[in-house]
Amino acid sequence: MIEPVEQITDKSLRRHFGYSLKRAYARVHTAITEELNQLGLKVISYSALSMIVENPGLKQSQLAEALMIERSNLVVIIDDLENKNLIYRAQLPSDRRAYALIPTDEGKALAVRAGDAVADAEAAVFGHFDPALIEQLRPAFDRIWSR
Amino acid sequence: MIEPVEQITDKSLRRHFGYSLKRAYARVHTAITEELNQLGLKVISYSALSMIVENPGLKQSQLAEALMIERSNLVVIIDDLENKNLIYRAQLPSDRRAYALIPTDEGKALAVRAGDAVADAEAAVFGHFDPALIEQLRPAFDRIWSR
DNA sequence: GATAATAGTTATACCGCATAACTATTTAAG
DNA sequence: CTTAAATAGTTATGCGGTATAACTATTATC
């Protein structure tokens, strides 16, 4: 005889730390996305803009590699930033195949505002974390990535 | 005069802890996906199978809510698990609209193997973490999620 | 000078996820 | 009791993120 199940448990999944990580990241990602959305940016376009402001003149292929996305997918992101007058494609005299990506003053200003908005969003999510713990975690997580 | 940029930095992005989190999660997700792929499972279908083994007889709508996915997207996942003879849809006498999801012996066995495979993959990624730190982080991350 | 490699672009496809609409069945209201 | 509303499962569809292939223009290599 098959009976309905009232109380659902997820003990077998909670065993995995990756699930805690996934869900925590989902919260951060949502918070950041909403903040950036108010500034007309997506997470990936904010990342691109920040990198261009920090590394003015870099090429699309360099940016794609740094952001670990495909060159082809970067095109529309750059198009969008350029249409919004946040950056522009400048001709590289040394290589006529490539573009040098340059931020406009407007782009530089927005990068600062967006960076602070992202930091605020993260602070709201991790507010109850000990700052010392965050600084302990950062290199530990970065090591996971860079190996 | 526009010059090529040799060395690309990402200081402005490294400021955000969310990036460290994202990249670390990407690594663990990849590791888990590869392990589960060898067992013919995706992350989401492993999650579904584990929940069904732990809560035999639950309905699809209950499972969808527990996994926080749409009912409509769960259908194909259940179809797949059923086609692989890992679970089956049983009629619920108390509600002819709903199915009771029941694991097969094969499904139960695979859930155990897959769970261990996931745990191994996570251990490989977080191997250099102090176990005490993990157990400190788990409830902290879960609190981020459940608020 | 021919060949290979690189930069940017376009088109395309797949996947994860969300919404809407539908059928069948159950529950709630009048 | 009958009708309306809610629920369970399903199908179709669209959107966003991501990956691959093919193409043109240009540069580097042999």
pLDDT for A3-60, tens place per residue? Answer: 778 789 999 999 999 999 999 999 999 999 999 999 999 999 999 999 999 999 999 9
Q: CA dihedral defined by A107, A112, A113, A114, rounded to 10 degrees?
A: 80
B36-56 mean pLDDT:
96
Q: Which residue has the higher pLDDT, B95 or A127?
A: B95
Find the Cα–Cα–Cα–Cα dihedral A21, A26, A28, A29, rounded to 10°: 130
Q: What is the rounded distance in angstroms from the CA atom of residue B17 to the CA atom of residue B141?
A: 14
Name the token pair of B98. Answer: 């709903």
* pLDDT (mean) for B133-146: 88
Q: Which fold has domain B18-126?
A: Arc Repressor Mutant, subunit A (1.10.10)
> Region A100-115: what's the mean pLDDT?
97
> Domain limits of chain A?
17-123
Is B8 in CB contact (< 8 Å) with chain A? Answer: yes
Residue the block writes with tokens 């997506």 = A42
Find the Å distance, CA of residue B99 to C1' of nucleotide D7. Answer: 13
**pLDDT tens column, B108-139:** 999 999 999 999 999 999 988 888 888 889 99
Q: What is the pLDDT of residue A1?
A: 64
Per-residue pLDDT band for B146 (boundaries 50, 70, 90) equals confident
Residue B120: CB less than 7 A from any atom in strand D: no
Phi-psi region of A52 (alpha: psi -120 to 50; beta: other; left: phi over 0): alpha
CA-CA distance, A56 to A63, in Å (whole number)? Answer: 11
Percentage of chain B modeled with pLDDT above 90? 80
For B26: left if phi > 0, alpha if psi spans -120 to 50, otherwise beta; the answer is alpha
Question: Cβ of residue A72 near strand D, that is under 7 Å?
Answer: yes
Report yes or no: A113 and A15 within 8 Å, Cβ to Cβ. Answer: no
Mutate to test the interface with A, among B3, B5, B116 (most CBs of A within 10 A): B5
Total residues found in chain A within this entry = 147
Amino acid B91: pLDDT: 92
Task: Using a 7 Å CB cutoff, list residues 73-102 of A near strand D.
Answer: 73, 95-97
Work out the number of other CB atoms within 10 angstroms of the CB of residue B97.
7
pLDDT of B7-29, one tens digit each? 899 999 999 999 999 999 999 99
- Which helix (H) or strand (E) is A105 found in, with range? helix A105-125
**Residues above pLDDT 70, as percent of chain A:** 99
CATH 1.10.287.540 at A17-123, yes or no? no
Q: How far is CA A50 from the centre of its chain?
A: 10
Mean pLDDT of B22-45: 94
pLDDT (0 to 100) of residue A13: 95
pLDDT higher at B131 or A74: A74
Q: Please, what sign has the CA dihedral across residues A118, A120, A121, A122?
A: positive
Whether residues A22 and B20 touch (CB distance < 8 A) is answered with no
Identify the CA nearest to A66 among candidates B25, B14, B125: B14
Contact list, B119 vs chain A (CB under 8 Å): 15-16
What's the rounded mean pLDDT across residues B88-112?
Answer: 95
